Amino acid sequence: MNVPFEYQRDERLAYHLAWERQMARVEAIAAREAPNLFWLLEHDPIYTLGRSASPADILATTIPTRVTDRGGKVTYHGPGQLVGYVLRDLRPAIHAARAHVIKLEETVIRALAGLGVEARRESDNPGVWVAGEKIAALGVRIRHGVAYHGFSINRAPDLDAFAGIVPCGLAGRGVTSLEKLGSPVPRAELEARLVASFQEVFEAEWRE
């Protein structure tokens, strides 16, 4: 059975504006006034602290910080990193948060496989990893039975920005990108791969 989703994309949007837009859409989905949403965009440079984050994980203050309501700890967003927000009605199976996270990981893993990059998940550390380094971070929140937030995948961001934090609270674990792996791709190509894998994994049918 296909699941109705709307697909949107933006070039770049400030994190707080994207969060406000997500919250409005969550309310609309919960009221069954709008379909689920798959949204691709980039953010201006920012460190975001999830609900499990510790202020001690911020090592530098040269980049703005913002406390957010997603799960997880601290991460970096910025140009060259593609963010995928997935707003999805989980009702009546609102207990299926873990299954939702696995679908997000699988979407990224399949997209990277299409680019010749072998990636995997780790059972204890949500996200997507290549040769022991994180290439995509995940964070999810559920409100009124609707999941929101999603994943961020490192295409060609400034990886030095991750030196200002303990990424996802995992000291000693590296962060990588498609560019660092020697597989640079234009944003449009990565978007196309993600859209295709998302449709497969989530059995999505695009709606206006």
**Does the pLDDT of residue 191 top 80, yes or no?**
yes
What tens digit of pLDDT does each residue of 113-155 get? 999 999 999 988 889 999 999 999 999 999 999 999 999 999 9
Which single residue is written with the structure tokens 């979407």?
A: 107
Catalytic residue among 49, 168, 190, 204: 168
* CB-count exposure of residue 137 (10 Å: 0-12, 13-18, 19+): buried
- CATH fold of 3-206 reads BirA Bifunctional Protein; domain 2 (3.30.930)
- Mean of per-residue pLDDT scores for the chain: 94
* CB-count exposure of residue 53 (10 Å: 0-12, 13-18, 19+): buried
Looking at residue 1, its pLDDT comes to: 64
What tens digit of pLDDT does each residue of 66-106 get? 999 998 889 999 999 999 999 999 998 767 889 999 999 99
Edge-to-edge order in the sheet of strand 65-67: 65-67, 46-49, 74-77
Please state, for a pLDDT cut of 90, what percent of the chain lies above it.
82
Looking at residue 158, its pLDDT comes to: 95
Looking at residue 168, its pLDDT comes to: 73
Domain ranges of the chain: 3-206
Please state, for a pLDDT cut of 70, what percent of the chain lies above it.
99
- Per-residue confidence at 55, pLDDT binned at 50, 70, 90? confident
What tens digit of pLDDT does each residue of 158-169 get? 999 999 988 877
**Does the pLDDT of residue 54 top 90, yes or no?**
no
Please indicate whether residue 168 is annotated as part of the active site.
Answer: yes
For the segment 58-73, the average pLDDT, to the nearest whole number, is: 90
DSSP-derived pairing of the beta strands 46-49 and 65-67: parallel
Q: How far apart are CA 67 and CA 73, in angstroms?
A: 10
